Amino acid sequence: MADNTFDIIIIGGGPGGYVAAIRAAQLGFKTAVVEREHLGGICSNWGCIPTKALLRSAEIFTYFGHAKDYGLMAEKFGFDIAAIIKRSRGIAGQMNSGVQFLFKKNKITTIWGDAKITKPGEIAVTAPTKGVLGPPVEGPKGALGAGTYKAAHIIVATGARPRVLPGLEPDKKQVWTYFEAMNPDKFPKSLLVVGSGAIGVEFASFYRALGAEVTIVELLPQILPVEDAEIAAFARKQFEKQGIKIITGAKVTKLDKKADSVTATIDVGGKAEMITAEKVISAVGVVGNIENIGLEAAGVKTDKGIVVTDGYGRTNVKGIYAIGDVAGPPMLAHKAEHEGVTTVEMIKGLKVHALDKAKVPGCTYCNPQIASVGLTETKAKEQGRQVKIGRFPFIGNGKAIALGEPEGLCKTIFDAKTGELLGAHLAGAEVTELIQGFVVAMNCETTEEELMHTIFPHPTLSETMKESVLDAYGRVLNM
Amino acid sequence: MPINILMPALSPTMEQGNLVKWLKKEGDKVKAGDVIAEIETDKATMEVEAVDEGTLGKILVAEGTNDVAVNKPIAVLFEEGEDASAVSAAPAEQPKTAAAPEAKKEEPKKEEPKVEAAKAEPAKPAPVAAPVPAPKANGAGVKVFASPLARRIAKERGVNLSAIAGSGPHGRIVKKDVESARPGAGAPAAAGGGAFGLPLMPDDQIRALFEPGSYDVVPHDGMRRTIATRMQQSMIVVPHFFLAVDFEVDALLKLREEMNSYAPKEDGKPVWRVSVNDLIVKAFALTLKKHPNANASWTEGGMLRHHNVDIGIAVAIPGGGLITPILRNAQDKPLPELAQESSNLAKRARDKKLKPHEYQGGTAAISNLGMYGVKHFTAIVNPPHSTILAVAASEKRPVVVGDKIEIRTMMTATLSCDHRVVDGADAANIMQTLKGFVEKPVGLVM
Ligand SMILES: Cc1cc2nc3c(=O)[nH]c(=O)nc-3n(C[C@H](O)[C@H](O)[C@H](O)COP(=O)(O)OP(=O)(O)OC[C@H]3O[C@@H](n4cnc5c(N)ncnc54)[C@H](O)[C@@H]3O)c2cc1C
């Protein structure tokens, strides 16, 4: 095979792309990844990981504030935003070189530059023209550069970028996207967060924990719109207790920028309200990177900013596949990774299953953490399901009380007829680590019976999961 | 170390295929890329390439074998210096799925998932996927792997898990498999047999074989489902065998004519009319009376030997479907009464007006396609019956009588038997007795 010819070329080195590449290499494919600014993608560099690093600093800071509750003394404590950011960026860098190492280990070729599909089976790569922070970033050692490359299979994994709403255009200075919010020059005293999805509430939690005045504006009547209404209401109460101001059913209609503040006009059910803050974070969602990569010319079907695929990553054009954020919601790293593996295995001819979106968990690392999988109560009822619902509050859990984290809720939804676990929704300490138990249960198609037969270790927060299941069947023990 | 060559998957949905042909013999040297065999799926025939170099040591699956599970070892490849003595030791730890065919140059236009001719997968031990278990009859001691949810739904819907194929890991039955087995498709075990609901292929796979818009989807009505389930159950559970005998029916036809000429009349119309079928019903009933071991139903607990001969007559329903009303105590009923009853039942069957007790049960059945000029056919036993007689057309044939050829009216009848109940010699005897009644029909009226 010529040096510029591969079995599989993947455009984009995010969690979708890099994991697909490793799986492809494992299966014996000659594999290349084209990346233009950061191996590891948004997730490692500007998403999941660096935000979790920031939130960890905020969490420990919050503990300091409650030291007395634990019999500890921490009378003088503070934070250095520059150091917090430095830690976060350092961790992002560590992730990035981790991917480089994995590529080397698996003999995956990196091609550095902007890729564009010229026709099915062929791409053109040009040197990158810019990076997130301005100037283009240099590629890792040994990466190939600009040129034409061929592969029978081209996987598009170009990810997503912040959605821009008219009137709310980010300007890097006062109106931020997650890029600036993750990397501020100085700590803002007040902040207006537009949008209450995962990204919005995570930044709200982070900045509030460190003392900023934070207001969240959400268009829909519920914050965390994809979550179960009961969990979202629970989270809202906790946020408000922490001093976050939340306005739902509201729309930002205008931004007036002054030298060191922005005044937003907000339409709340027909009434105008003004909110002034030092910075605005626009967190109104993301859109797929479908432009300028040759999709139109190749005839690849797209719809509302994402590439249309068939559940196995196949597009309508033979030999062109799409995975991850660019292939549509849920726009989460683990969904991207899973699609990457499925698509490559399908190309290999292995037995694979189409993505089941109902079994993709979602985690939000605000305080309290939110984690869920499957149908919300509303959705389950909309589908005409007869349901049995269990709830268990953390206050009934010994470990939660010992941790000093008695605020939490575990809610489970079962099909009343078959005992199928339809959904699980959690809020509280460490629930992002708990949810996988329910995800495994769902994938193994357990019913309530096996969950009740399972012994959950004591004392752990996971006992709330079992109690919630018991509650759904009227057998709760510790309430 | 000898390398197992595995049955490759040509598409993500492929679970098994047919090994059509070996293109290399045992002992032949092969190079990576050599075409070694042809396999066939429901969709296409494709070539299997070797992914390693060596000698084709042993062919494990003979050509012409159908339904070979994906990942099942089909041959063993020896590397240099190895020979057959290594076969018994051929480990399953180094399986290699044979490379699927060069798909690159053909650039197929179809929307099929393309199979890549990849280089050999690095020789890391990949688990040999357990062959997808073939659907099993409701045998005792067969362990069925199914998810708890699949079990729950199957129980609720009365689907027999041992009769469906699993699509989950290692062939495990998951919710989707049970749901696509359709409620009712696997009715719970009925008297005389196991329960079934065997989807040969998921609906969407079958539909995918046809152009969208090139067919209409006609929902099944209850009768269609019942026929499908019962016939499928029977063909899978009941060990069938068939025997055909020619009867001379001139005497029978003559008897019929004479009897009918004696029929009383009302308003100038005969009150009854004996048909050929009525005579056969009567003959068959008297025959079974003489062979009580065949007038029986199989149950696991013991043979039900029936005191009466209740004969189901298959009636085709206009617009599709069929039903078998039962002529009870046929052995004892005089022919005129039998004739009246059968024409009444048949009429109400065609109008779909039968009550359940009129078509349920029975000990044997008759299906008569004589009026369509059918020469010979076989029918499927409908448990709890243990036999069914398939009656073809009466026609004039040249027959050797003594040393002369004569023209006689002949009819071929074929008995289908449930071998759990009736053995071959019994069946032959039954047909002998029946032949006696048909050819010397005076016995039918005495
Ligand atoms: C602030 C924030 C927090 C998040 N937190 C979480 C979380 O906690 N959990 C979670 O699951 N998800 C989280 N996400 C979402 C997650 O980051 C994405 O779902 C994930 O990164 C998607 O992976 P991907 O491979 O599809 O795309 P990306 O990670 O976006 O990677 C795409 C890559 O393609 C490259 N690329 C694009 N176009 C070209 C081109 N033409 N040529 C060459 N290279 C190109 C880009 O440079 C990029 O590196 C978060 C996102 C954000 C923004």
* Long-range contact pairs involving B230-233 (C-beta distance under 8 Å, separation at least 24): B230/B382, B231/B380, B231/B382, B232/B196, B232/B198, B233/B187, B233/B190, B233/B193, B233/B194, B233/B195, B233/B196, B233/B383
Q: Is the CB of A41 under 6 A from ligand 1?
A: yes
**Cα A151 to ligand 1 centroid, rounded to whole Å:** 23
**Cβ proximity of A150 and A121 under 8 Å:** yes
Domains annotated on chain B, with CATH:
3-93 (2.40.50.100), 148-215 (4.10.320.10), 239-444 (3.30.559.10)
**Cβ proximity of B27 and B59 under 8 Å:** no
Higher pLDDT, B212 or A348: A348
DSSP B24: S
Overall domain count for chain A: 3
Helix (H) or strand (E) holding A344: helix A333-348
Burial of B318 (0-12, 13-18, 19+ CB in 10 A): exposed
What pLDDT does residue B107 have? 42
Does the residue A60 lie in any domain?
Answer: no
Mutate to test the interface with B, among A445, A446, A449, A469 (most CBs of B within 10 A): A445
Residues A418, B115: C-beta atoms closer than 8 Å: no
Mean pLDDT of all residues in B71-90:
68
Q: Which among B116, B148, B152 has CB closest to A349?
A: B116
In degrees, rounded to 5, the angle at the alpha carbon of residue B342 between the alpha carbons of residues B338 and B348 is 150
Peptide bond into A170 cis (omega under 30): no
A7 touches chain B (CB under 8 A): yes
A43 and A140 in a common domain: yes
| Residue of chain B minimizing CA distance to A445 | B149
Q: Is the per-residue pLDDT at A397 higher than 60?
A: yes
SS3 of B321, please?
coil
Q: Is the per-residue pLDDT at A105 higher than 90?
A: yes
Q: Which atom of ligand 1 is nearest to the CA of A15?
A: 25
Identity at A129, one-letter amino acid code: T
Q: Is the CB of A14 under 6 A from ligand 1?
A: yes
A353 and A419 in a common domain: no
**Cα A49 to ligand 1 centroid, rounded to whole Å:** 11
Does the residue A71 lie in any domain?
Answer: no
Does the residue A66 lie in any domain?
Answer: no
Q: Which among A27, A319, A352 has CB closest to B118?
A: A27
A297 and A226 in a common domain: no
Among A residues 239-298, those touching chain B with beta carbons less than 8 Å apart: none
| Torsion A177-A183-A185-A190 (CA) sign | positive
Of B220, B291, B385, B419, the active-site residue reads: B419
Of A289, A312, A284, residue with least CA distance to A302: A289
Tens of pLDDT, residues A247-263: 999 999 999 999 999 99
Q: Give the range of the structural domain holding residue A12, as residue numbers without chain letter.
A: 5-50+82-161+287-357
Does the residue A76 lie in any domain?
Answer: no
Does the residue A362 lie in any domain?
Answer: no
Q: Is the CB of A154 under 6 A from ligand 1?
A: no
Mean pLDDT of all residues in A235-244:
98
Cα A42 from Cα A301, distance rounded (Å): 24
A318 touches chain B (CB under 8 A): yes
Helix B276-290 and helix B250-261, axial crossing angle in degrees, nearest 10: 110
**In chain A, what percentage of residues exceed pLDDT 70?**
100
Enumerate the residues of chain B whose CB falls inside 8 A of the CB of residue A352. 12
Tens of pLDDT, residues A417-471: 999 999 999 999 999 999 999 999 999 999 999 999 999 999 999 999 999 999 9
E-state strands within A47-206: 109-112, 114-119, 122-126, 147-156, 160-162, 175-176, 190-194
Tens of pLDDT, residues A111-141: 999 999 999 999 999 999 888 878 889 999 9
Q: Which among B9, B114, B150 has CB closest to A350?
A: B9
Higher pLDDT, A265 or B104: A265
A454 touches chain B (CB under 8 A): no
E-state strands within A207-346: 213-217, 245-247, 250-257, 262-268, 271-277, 279-282, 286-288, 302-303, 306-307, 320-322
A376 and A343 in a common domain: no
CATH number at residue A12: 3.50.50.60
The residues pairing with A125 across neighbouring beta strands, listed in sequence order, are: A115, A147
Does the residue A75 lie in any domain?
Answer: no
Q: Which atom of ligand 1 is nearest to the CA of A362?
A: 11
Chosen domain end from A334, A357, A380: A357
What pLDDT does residue B45 have? 67
Q: Which among B107, B113, B175 has CB closest to A346?
A: B113
A333 and A231 in a common domain: no
Chosen domain end from A227, A257, A284: A284
**In chain B, what percentage of residues exceed pLDDT 70?**
79
What pLDDT does residue B42 have? 59
Evaluate whether ipTM surpasses 0.90.
Answer: no
| Residues in CB range of B19: below 8 A, 6 or more apart | B7, B37, B38, B39, B61, B62, B63, B64, B65, B66, B68, B74
Higher pLDDT, A383 or B169: A383
Tens of pLDDT, residues B164-208: 878 888 888 999 888 887 654 443 333 323 333 456 777 778 888
DSSP codes, A24-42: HHHTT--EEEEESS-TTHH
A221 and A190 in a common domain: yes
Mean pLDDT of all residues in B319-333:
92
Q: Is the per-residue pLDDT at B139 higher than 80?
A: no
Tens of pLDDT, residues B380-418: 999 999 999 999 999 999 999 999 999 999 999 999 999
B264 touches chain A (CB under 8 A): no
A131 and A264 in a common domain: no
Cα B202 from Cα A67, distance rounded (Å): 61
Quote the mean pLDDT of chain B. 80
B154 touches chain A (CB under 8 A): no
What pLDDT does residue B182 have? 60
Tens of pLDDT, residues B90-102: 444 344 455 444 4
B156 touches chain A (CB under 8 A): yes
Tens of pLDDT, residues B344-372: 999 998 888 888 788 889 999 999 999 99
Quote the mean pLDDT of chain A. 96
A430 and A379 in a common domain: yes
**Cα A194 to ligand 1 centroid, rounded to whole Å:** 21
A210 and A86 in a common domain: no
A299 and A336 in a common domain: yes
Mean pLDDT of all residues in A292-299:
96
A37 and A113 in a common domain: yes
CA-based Rg of chain B, rounded to a whole angstrom? 29
**Cα B419 to ligand 1 centroid, rounded to whole Å:** 66
**Cβ proximity of B30 and B54 under 8 Å:** yes
Does the residue A61 lie in any domain?
Answer: no
Distance of CA B319 to the CA centre of its chain: 24
Helix, strand, coil percentages in chain A from 3-state DSSP, rounded to 5: 35, 25, 40
Cα B237 from Cα A369, distance rounded (Å): 56
Residue from A158, A365, A432 whose mutation best tests the ligand 1 pocket (most atoms within 8 A of CB): A158
Cα A189 from Cα B303, distance rounded (Å): 90
Chosen domain end from A357, A390, A407: A357
Does the residue A57 lie in any domain?
Answer: no
A255 and A186 in a common domain: yes
Enumerate the residues of chain A whose CB falls inside 8 A of the CB of residue B11. 349
